[in-house]
């Protein structure tokens, strides 16, 4: 007969099991599943503040913000939110210590790592290839990808749209020097696109959906078969090191936010519309293109996909050095990796 564990050993076993469950439970999608409560004594130090960077496209974060979930989950910490027009600006704020956590597309972390920024990939969402596109106006002579040769194309430098354009140029059989990239933030890019100062625009949702409904551009190509358009949650290395349990709870809360989006779509549309100021029709179209997006650790396939993004930018000389994406992937059970 097995002997029962002594009280100290039993308590230690339960503590280890709790932390392990909190991390590997990130993939749980059932709406009634509740994340383990945050506990400061499981972090390296108490959580005092959590500054989160987000964009209009960060649906899971927007739901948490609108519902006040984190303020309730971490009552002893000051939770603040900062909106950014795109991922490069967000990661710059994170790298200089103005944020602890945020969400971006695939290209911004590559540019940040190549620039020596001290960041960690802590989780990912599934691919969203239909949520980005290269647009042209309805009367544009551009009909196929090879027609982009010599054309001015607006995009946010270092964004997911940047990689989409890189892949589109490659598929067209063109060289990067064959096009004229015009680096503009989304709002400025749309203005330039509408007044025909540029010939095409590489962009992501919800800017894509808003433009589609407003002026009915032609979609030259989407990310399908070109770019996975992965989304990544990133944190500063210091935060990931000191607050592993907090991150586990946060990431699980994000998965529960996605359950809300999938099962209560009308309520999700209302919350996102209220936050963004976008028309409900725009939000509805944007969410239709967005697959179920539970949050979990980066898989080997996702890391490999992200490495291809990094290699493509290096090959074109768009980042200053070759990088290894796996070097900055957070591994909470491997202290040497954080």
pLDDT of the residue at 10: 38
- The β-bridge relationship of strands 200-204 and 152-155 is parallel
The three-class DSSP label of residue 124 is strand
DSSP state of 50: E
Q: How far is CA 42 from CA 10, 39, 206, 225, in A?
A: 17, 6, 38, 43
CATH number of 41-127+230-337: 3.40.190.10
Instruction: Give the pLDDT confidence score for residue 331 in this predicted structure.
Output: 87
The DSSP bridge partners found for residue 233 are 103, 123
Instruction: Provide the residue-wise pLDDT of the chain in tens; the chain has 338 residues.
Output: 334 434 333 333 333 333 333 333 333 333 333 333 333 347 888 999 999 999 999 999 999 999 999 999 999 899 999 999 999 999 999 999 999 999 999 999 999 999 999 999 999 999 999 999 999 999 999 999 999 999 999 999 999 999 999 999 999 999 999 999 999 999 999 999 999 999 999 999 999 999 999 999 999 999 998 999 999 999 999 999 999 999 999 999 999 999 999 999 999 999 999 999 999 999 999 999 999 999 999 999 999 999 999 999 999 999 999 999 999 999 876 443 33
User: CA–CA distance from 279 to each of 41, 63, 270, 283 (Å)?
Assistant: 44, 17, 9, 7
Name the residue among 141, 134, 123 with its Cα closest to residue 26.
123
Locate 248 and state its tokens: 């586990």
Phi then psi for 325, rounded to 5 degrees? -55, -40
CATH 3.20.19.10 fits 129-222, yes or no: no
Question: ∠ at Cα 198 (197, 203), nearest 5°?
Answer: 130
Whether 49 and 77 have beta carbons less than 8 Å apart is answered as: yes
Residue 25, burial from CB neighbour count under 10 angstroms (0-12, 13-18, 19+): middle
The CATH 3.40.190.10 domain(s) of the chain lie at 41-127+230-337, 129-222
Residue 32 is encoded by which pair of tokens? 């009634």
DSSP 3-state of 123: strand
User: Are β-strands 78-83 and 49-54 bridged in parallel, bridged antiparallel, or unpaired?
Assistant: parallel
């Amino acid at each position: 007969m097995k002997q029962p564990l002594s009280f100290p050993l039993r308590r230690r076993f339960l503590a280890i099991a709790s932390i392990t469950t909190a991390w590997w439970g990130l993939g749980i999608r059932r709406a009634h599943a509740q994340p383990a409560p945050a506990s400061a004594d499981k972090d390296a130090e108490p959580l005092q503040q959590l500054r989160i960077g987000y964009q209009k496209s960060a649906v899971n974060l927007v739901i948490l913000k609108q519902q006040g979930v984190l303020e309730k989950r971490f009552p002893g910490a000051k939770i603040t939110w900062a909106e950014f027009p795109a991922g490069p600006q967000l990661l710059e704020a994170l790298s200089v210590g103005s944020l602890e956590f945020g969400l971006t597309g695939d290209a911004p972390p590559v540019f940040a790592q190549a620039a020596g920024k001290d960041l960690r990939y802590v989780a990912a969402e599934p691919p969203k290839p239909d949520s980005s596109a290269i647009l042209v106006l309805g009367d544009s002579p551009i009909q196929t990808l090879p027609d982009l040769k010599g054309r001015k194309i607006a995009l946010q430098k270092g964004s997911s749209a940047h990689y989409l354009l890189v892949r589109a140029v490659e598929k067209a059989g063109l060289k990067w020097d064959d096009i004229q990239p015009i680096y503009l933030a989304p709002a400025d890019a749309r203005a330039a696109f509408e007044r025909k100062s540029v010939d095409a625009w590489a962009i992501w949702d919800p800017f894509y959906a808003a433009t589609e409904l407003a002026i009915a551009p032609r979609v030259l190509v989407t990310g399908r078969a070109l770019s996975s358009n992965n989304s990544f949650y990133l944190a500063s290395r210091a935060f990931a090191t000191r607050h592993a349990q907090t991150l586990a709870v946060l990431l699980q809360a994000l998965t529960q936010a996605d359950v809300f989006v999938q099962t209560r779509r009308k309520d999700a549309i209302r919350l996102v519309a209220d936050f963004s100021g976008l028309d409900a029709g725009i939000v509805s179209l944007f969410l239709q293109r967005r697959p179920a997006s539970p949050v979990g650790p980066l898989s080997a396939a996702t890391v490999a996909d992200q490495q291809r993004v990094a290699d493509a930018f290096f090959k074109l000389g768009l980042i200053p050095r070759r990088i290894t994406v796996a070097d900055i992937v957070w591994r909470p059970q491997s202290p040497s990796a954080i």
